[in-house]
Amino acid sequence: MTYLKKFSFITILLLIGVGGINWFIDPFGMYWSPTISNINKVKPEASNRVRISKPYRVEHVKPDVLLMGNSRVEMGLSPYHPAFEGKKVYNLGLAGATLHSQIDHIYHAINTSPNLETIVFGLDFFDFLVTPTGNETNATKTSYGHRIFSAEGFKHAKKRYTERLALVYSVDALISSLFTMSQQNSVVDSIGPFGLNSAQSYINIVKSEGKKPLFKQKLGFVKEKLSQKPWQLTSNEGTPISPKFEKLLELINVVQSKKITLHLFINPYHYSYLHAIDQQGYFELYLQWKATLANVVRDHQSQYITLWDFSGFNQYTLEPEKLMQPHQAMQWYWEPAHYNVELGNILISSIFSGSSSDFGQRLDNQALAPNLNTEIQALKNSVHHWHQLREQLQLIVIQ
Amino acid sequence: MLFNSVEFLFFFLPLTILLFLQIAKRYGNEPAIAVLVACSLFFYGWWNPIYLLLLLASMGFNYLLGGMLGGRSKHKGLLIFGIAVNLSAIAYFKYAGFILNNVNSVFDVDYSIGNIILPLAISFFTFQQIAYLVDSYKGITKEYSFLHYALFVSFFPQLIAGPIVHHKDMLPQFERNKAFQLNANDVAIGLSIFAIGLFKKTVIADGIAIYATPIFSMADAGESIDFFTAWGGALAYTFQLYFDFSGYSDMAVGLARIFGIVLPLNFYSPYKAANISEFWRRWHMTLSKFLRDYVYIALGGNRKGQVSRYTNLLITMLLGGLWHGAGWNFVIWGGLHGSYLIINHSWQHMIKSSGVSFVNSMLYRYLAWFITIIAVIIGWVFFRAVTLDGALNMLSGMAGLNGISMPNAIYVKLSPLHQVLDSLAITPTLGGGAVFVKTWLWIITLTLVVLVLPNIQDMFAKHKATLSTLQFDTTNAIWPAKKIAQQLQFSYSTKFAFLSALAFVLGLLTLNQVSEFLYFQF
């Protein structure tokens, strides 16, 4: 065989081999080829690629129930909760996604899932903040538009095709496949076939570095983010509602017209997270955000829309950090911003049983004013714990 | 059109080869060359068709002028006019904005000439033709047909990023008597070299770029960069640039070879160099040669004593810096290398006159290499940083002035060494260690690659990869484990077919991550 024939033959063989390996290992959790323990079951690389894989996956799963939000939902809400028995559930939570992006992805799920009947949507204070001049518009869709508006044109179709191809035919995929195989017995994040992020990396961090760095990092993030710009809820003076709330209203109208139930809920923050917000002078704005949400929902009240608040101070959110036992994981929280699936399960139970029990509260007209007052009081009551925590974290206590 | 793009690899290249060979077979060499010129112009016009007019005008003007200078009109004024026209074009497109910005800041005025887009490869095709004009004036050129001349300027493998080819090297190859046809050996060698280049550019250079870019962005934004981060960023860029340029040069050599054309060598393991002169003999060799022949020697070279020699060196390198980009950081980079060269020449002069023998020892050579590579890395910081403050910020980080720290995840794993780390003032910072580990794994691996492995010139020396005769050369350079490297010489074996195919396939697998070449808009 001549050199050129050998070269061509090996090239073809390698291309087939690489494609086959990447499809089978499926490092990004895209194709869900058969999974085998110790070979390709754990998918650590998938958690970094959810923005690519999840929109395509949701098209494939065509869920009856959709769980949506940012990383809190992705790590905290299990599609396997008993309340969903007999239903196809997909967790479309996207870490770090903006509110516009989250809602656009919900539309994508609605458009591609004919049996979608319920959406559970976790809302975040930070996702609603705007600066006096800067607003997110639909222009940002360019980064994900091709994934979620598949019907529109050749250009999008080409982009979708090449992107999906890259999940099998790319150096990135090949390296990720090798990494996936090598990490099967490691404690790492992994995305399941229905979109849940296992959040196992937290266990690793708590075990090796302890909880302190996690708390420091997250509380530091709150401080940095809130001190960056003058944040507010409305973009311009005189504007009654910001584009964020407009986007939410648009979603409410869409689901109402399609008779899909939308359970909105405010994520359960650890009390330290709320104190960090307060520290930067934004607690009042946070309460105002809750009030605005309640008003928005009240104005569109129907059997299809509910708003739940899990963010207050209660036995779960006031969980002691126990930093003196740094390598012992907390019961409900990974760190101040992220709750675990156990707390997520209680949250789902509250929503689907319809009763507030001791966790979560329907935020309707009657509940709003007492809710806000209770929060203000509870914030004051927990100041001592907050100061203790800050001292333990070696952060300066500002009186 | 980029070499690592779908349109080039799957459409342009196969169609051009097919067309070129078919036309050569049916109608002979001249029509085949016309096809190659047409394809090359299409390749250039793909980026921005309007600038094709500039390339055509430049080729037409210089061909006519070269003919006149090579004929009866050996008028120096005509040569100066020709060079001035070429330099004016490059000055307008490349330097007008820079000059105006400086005028504005010096005289506190606000002139504007709008946004001038730099035509692709203008420096390459202009320099190539200036050399042609000078050689025509000196009577070195022959009578060339316009078609051949057009191919010499526009031949697509070398058009957009070099090498800067010389008419005496290229035109005789176009004028050969035997028919252009598919030569299996040329294709095999060309394809293998191209595959290696594609791998270097797309897998290595683009692979490590992600560890360099954010650090320089942070430095330019004025953020404090600690010791390991600064060195990680600087070294990552040092390798990114190396493999970007080396990969591109290899791809150019490989592509030309598929057509049976041998290009000059442009890149010969410069990071093995044990002094800065050697570095410049190995880095962007055709530019160094151009600057030496048409600037340094034209200025008087070393004919008027040491002071004049050093002055000429500095001027040449300052111009070399400015050639790379219209910005003060490039001028500083050029000036820095000019100074390095002066120091090196002075040192060589000193040790030669003192007659010391330690210069022959391996220890001396490795020490010299270490000093050289540090000097080069410092130079690259100026080359890469967008602002002068950004460069100085990086350098202060590299000097340890912003402290030494490592990610907490790694720090906790080094608990037995905490006392030592504390005594060295190494502190933990929040965050995981994945990026830190990946950065330094890349750096260690690539250090071994650039020092130990052979380049394409060495690997294909028996098959005349380029016009150079260098072969496993270690003059003024280090080469650890050279014996291992010498075993990696190309043969038509299954092993090389596999290695080349693997490099090619891995290169193809990066097509969805197409990026621009760094050595692109010069």
pLDDT of residue A398: 45
Amino acid identity at B413: K
Select from A11, A172, A216 the Cβ nearest to the Cβ of B505.
A11
Retrieve residue A182's tokens.
């090598």
Query: Which of these, A236, A233, A240, A239, lies nearest to A288 by C-alpha position?
Result: A233
Question: Mean per-residue pLDDT for B41-51?
Answer: 89
DSSP state of A197: B
The residue of chain A with its CA nearest to that of B506 is A171
Q: What is the structure's pLDDT at B522?
A: 43
Query: What is the pTM assigned to this prediction?
Result: 0.86
Chain B residues near any Cβ of chain A (below 8 Å): 184, 187-188, 191-192, 202-203, 207, 408-409, 412-413, 430-432, 492-494, 496-498, 500-502, 504-506, 508-510, 512-513
Task: Please name the helix (run of DSSP H) or strand (run of DSSP E) that holds residue B84, with its range, or none.
Answer: helix B76-90
CB of A28 closer than 8 Å to CB of A46 = yes
Residue A213 host element (H or E): helix A211-228
Determine whether the interchain pair A208/B184 forms a contact, defined as Cβ–Cβ distance below 8 Å.
Answer: no
Give the contacts of A305 (CB within 8 A, at least 6 positions apart): A252, A255, A256, A261, A262, A264, A297
Cβ <8 Å between A172 and B191: no
Phi and psi of B504, rounded to 5°? -65, -45
Reported confidence tier of residue B28, pLDDT bands at 50, 70, 90 = confident
Tokens 């690592």 belong to which residue? B4
Task: Please report, for residues A251, A298, B13, the alpha-carbon distance to residue A304 in angstroms, rounded to integers and kept in the order given.
Answer: 12, 12, 59
Q: What is the pLDDT of residue A63?
A: 96
Nearest chain B residue (CA) to A166: B512
A118-123/A261-266 β-pairing: parallel
- Point out the least confidently predicted range of A159-163, A244-248, B289-293, B401-405: A159-163
Question: Is-contact A88 A63, C-beta < 8 A?
Answer: yes
- Nearest-CA distance A45 → chain B (Å): 13
Q: What is the pLDDT of residues B130-149, one digit of tens each?
A: 988 988 888 887 777 888 99
A170 to chain B, minimum CA–CA distance in Å? Answer: 4
Contact B168, B218 (CB under 8 A): no
How far the first Cα of chain B sits from its last, in Å, is 16
The tokens describing A37, both together, are 């323990």
Contact B384, B393 (CB under 8 A): no
- Each residue's pLDDT, cut to its tens digit, for chain A (399 residues) gives 799 999 999 999 999 999 999 999 999 998 999 999 999 999 998 888 888 899 999 999 999 999 999 999 999 999 999 999 999 999 999 988 889 999 999 999 999 999 999 999 999 999 998 887 665 555 455 678 888 865 567 888 888 888 888 888 888 899 999 999 998 988 888 999 999 999 998 998 888 888 888 998 889 989 988 988 888 888 665 666 778 888 999 999 999 999 999 999 999 999 999 999 999 999 999 999 998 898 888 877 777 899 999 988 888 999 988 888 888 889 999 999 999 999 999 999 999 886 656 788 888 777 777 778 888 888 888 888 898 888 888 765 444
Other C-beta atoms closer than 10 Å to the C-beta of A232 total 17
Token duo for residue A306: 């509910």
Flag whether residue A2 sits within 8 Å of chain B, measured between CB atoms.
Answer: yes
State yes or no: cis peptide before B172, omega within 30 of 0. no
**Amino acid identity for residue B257 in this structure:** R
Whole-number Å distance between alpha carbons of B275 and B328? 25
Amino acid at A246: E
Contact of B132 with B66, CB cutoff 8 Å: yes
- For A4, name the nearest residue in chain B, comparing CA atoms only: B188
> To 10 degrees, what angle do helices B388-398 and B227-258 make?
120
Amino acid letter, B410: I
Cα atoms found within 13 Å of the Cα of residue B330, Cβ hemisphere only? 12
**Beta-bridge partners for A68:** A121
Tens-digit pLDDT profile for residues B198-234: 999 999 999 999 999 999 999 999 998 999 999 999 9
Which is nearest to B84 in space by CA: B23, B156, B134? B134
> What residues contact B210, with CB distance under 8 A and at least 6 apart?
none
Vertex A80 angle, CA A76 and A83, to 5°: 95
β-pairing, A305-309 with A261-266? parallel
Q: Which two tokens stand for residue B497?
A: 């077919």
Interface test with B, best of A9, A146, A171, A223 (most B CBs within 10 A): A171
Residue B13 belongs to what H/E stretch?
Answer: helix B13-27
Q: Which of B438, B460, B490, B505 would you mutate first to test chain A, the one with the most A CBs within 10 A? A: B505
CA distance B379 to B330: 9
User: CA B294, B299, B303: angle at the middle one, nearest 5?
Assistant: 110
> Between chains, do B408 and A162 touch, taking CB under 8 Å as contact?
no
Grouping H, G, I as helix, E, B as strand and the rest as coil, residue B450 is: helix
Q: Which amino acid is at B446?
A: L
- How far apart CA B518 and CA B216 sit, in angstroms, is 15
For B108, left (φ over 0), alpha (ψ -120 to 50), or beta? left
For residue A188, which phi and psi values (nearest 5 degrees)? -135, 160
Contacts of B427 in chain A (CB under 8 A): none
| Active site (annotated) includes residue B324 | yes
CA distances to B77, B329, B390, B393, B398 from B223, rounded to whole Å, are 53, 19, 9, 8, 14
Q: What is the pLDDT at residue B518?
A: 41
Cα distance between residue B62 and residue B44, in whole Å: 19
For residue B191, the chain A residues in CB contact (below 8 A) are 4, 7
Catalytic residue among B166, B167, B284, B324: B324
User: How crowded is residue A283: how many other Cβ atoms within 10 Å of its Cβ?
Assistant: 17
Assign 3-class secondary structure to B370-405. Answer: HHHHHHHHHHHHHHHCCCHHHHHHHHHHHCCCCCEE
User: What's the number of CA atoms in the CB half-sphere (13 Å) around residue B45?
Assistant: 11
Backbone angles phi, psi at A191, to 5 degrees: -105, 130
Amino acid identity for residue A73 in this structure: V
Site of tokens 């990114």:
B240
H helices of B267-327, where?
A: 276-282, 285-291, 306-324
- The predicted pLDDT at position B295 comes to 87
Tell me how far apart the alpha carbons of residues B283 and B218 are, in angstroms, rounded to a whole number: 28
Which residue type sits at B153? V
ipTM of the complex: 0.85
Strand pairing report for A361-362 and A338-339:
unpaired
Question: Residue A59 and residue A108: Cα distance in Å, rounded?
Answer: 8
CA trace torsion B182, B188, B193, B195 (10° rounding)? 100
Whether A15 sits inside 8 A of B191 (CB atoms) is: no
- Average pLDDT of chain B is 89
In the predicted structure, residue B517 carries a pLDDT above the cut 50: no
Place of tokens 């030669």: B352
Tokens of B462: 């028996």
One-letter amino acid at B93 equals: F
* Nearest-angstrom CA–CA distance, B314 and B299: 11
B520 confidence band (pLDDT: 50, 70, 90): very low
CA gyration radius, chain A: 23
Question: Does the distance separating the beta carbons of B496 and A209 come in below 8 Å?
Answer: no
Provide the residue count of chain B: 522
Cβ atoms within 10 Å of B448's Cβ, excluding its own: 12
pLDDT of residue B521: 41
Let me know how long chain A is. 399
∠ at Cα A15 (A12, A16), nearest 5°?
Answer: 85
